[in-house]
Amino acid sequence: MSCRTACIVTDLQIEVKVEDFMQFDMLRHHMERLHVLRTFTGEDSSIFTVTEAGLRDLTDFAHDYLDEKKLFFRISGETPWRSFSEVDEVFTSEWIDDLIQQERVISYYQPIVDTECSVYGYELLARFHSPEGRMIYPDEAFTAARARGRLYALDRLCRVTAVRHAAPLINQKAFINFVPTSIYSPEFCLQSTVAVAKQFNIDPYQLVFEVVETDQVDDVEHLKSILRYYRDKGFHYALDDVGEGYSTVELLADLRPHYMKLDRSFVDGVAGDLVKQEKAEMFLTKAKESGSVPLAEGIEQEEDFNWLKEKGYQLFQGYFFGKPAPSPL
């Protein structure tokens, strides 16, 4: 899948794999009658490609006549095959296409403060809405985008929207999330981000791009290429949710981010939890070794803020300082 086709909403092309020759033969005849089938045969399985309309018909046919345990699908361009039992998610998530095309997203501002509780910057958090005005939260939107193969298109929309919302901030940082697994080639996929920053005359130094889903990073070299692109353009970057997942310590040393955000699971209640204290101090040490500014997120209690500040954390974020809001403080 190219960046061009991934960043816009186009008709879905779905590959279906059949691990049973007799079932494949039945499907081939059925789908050929509908004129929606292209096939090729591998050594151990047969694969064909259909449109979304063809997939709907195939699903009905499979429910009635086939063993669905031997059927798998993937949206063209994706790597992992998915069980056919998950195919209904593709259809029920169709609403995300309209949300992306209509750009129904804004950014909320959550303050990030220093040790004196002065606002250092804001994390810009995506908030979506339905045509009726109902708030749609990121987990719901990104789950639908993954089901539909729209992850890059949604991530790009959120990034560009957040950059636009950074324009009113004066001498304050704007922290902007991005999903590294959605980016195929930084030179092409991130052009729109750079273009919007130039359009609004935003100093690249003001923008900090956060690597979300740090625990799901498998291809570190690919992530490095993305961060090099950001760095070469003058942007800063951060590792989000540090402390979750495997090899986070290694990532800190390898990527040397400008900012390290300690995950809220190690922050909430840290003042009275020896295990959390040990983790918080370990990551603080690693942040200093890698030259990263340590930032604790998810602070809701004053005693946690005071403990982290005393230990050497420099920036802080959480409901104790302010909830996400449609405008900066």
Same domain, 180 and 73: no
Predicted confidence at residue 308, as pLDDT, reads: 98
H, E, C per residue of 72-118? EEEECCCCCCEEHHHCHHHHHCCHHHHHHHCCCEEEEEEEEECCCCC
**CA-CA distance, 205 to 296, in Å (whole number)?**
21
Please say whether the dihedral angle defined by the alpha carbons of residues 213, 218, 224 and 226, taken in this order, is positive or negative. negative
| Number of domains making up the chain | 2
Boundary of a domain, candidates 71, 92, 113: 92
**CA-CA distance, 79 to 293, in Å (whole number)?**
36
Predicted confidence at residue 39, as pLDDT, reads: 53
Predicted confidence at residue 8, as pLDDT, reads: 63
Q: CA 268, 326, 148 angle in degrees (round to 5)?
A: 80
Same domain, 11 and 128: no
DSSP alpha helices (H): ranges in the chain? Answer: 3-6, 21-33, 52-65, 88-92, 95-101, 138-148, 151-166, 186-189, 191-199, 220-232, 248-255, 274-290, 302-311
Per-residue pLDDT band for 2 (boundaries 50, 70, 90) equals: very low
**CA-CA distance, 129 to 282, in Å (whole number)?**
40
Helix (H, G, I), strand (E, B) or coil at 59: helix
Boundary of a domain, candidates 74, 92, 110: 92
Q: Which of 198, 206, 161, 158 is nearest to 182 (CA)?
A: 158
Q: What is the pLDDT of residues 159-181, one digit of tens each?
A: 999 999 999 999 999 999 988 87
216 pLDDT above the threshold of 70: no
CATH, residue 54: 3.30.70
Residue 154 CB coordination number (10 Å)? 26
Predicted confidence at residue 1, as pLDDT, reads: 43
- Percent of the chain past pLDDT 70, that is, above it, reads 88
> 209 and 180 in contact (C-beta within 8 Å)?
no
Q: What is the mean pLDDT of the chain?
A: 87
> 260 and 242 in contact (C-beta within 8 Å)?
yes
- DSSP β-bridge partners for residue 121: 112, 173
Q: Specify the pairing of strand 71-75 against strand 13-18.
A: antiparallel
214 pLDDT above the threshold of 70: no
- List the domain range (segments joined by +) for residue 18: 3-92
Boundary of a domain, candidates 61, 92, 123: 92
44 pLDDT above the threshold of 70: no
Tokens standing for residue 145: 């985008």
Predicted confidence at residue 3, as pLDDT, reads: 46
Residue 326 lies in a domain: no
Q: What is the pLDDT of residues 61-99, one digit of tens each?
A: 888 888 888 899 999 767 789 999 999 999 999 999 999
40 pLDDT above the threshold of 60: no
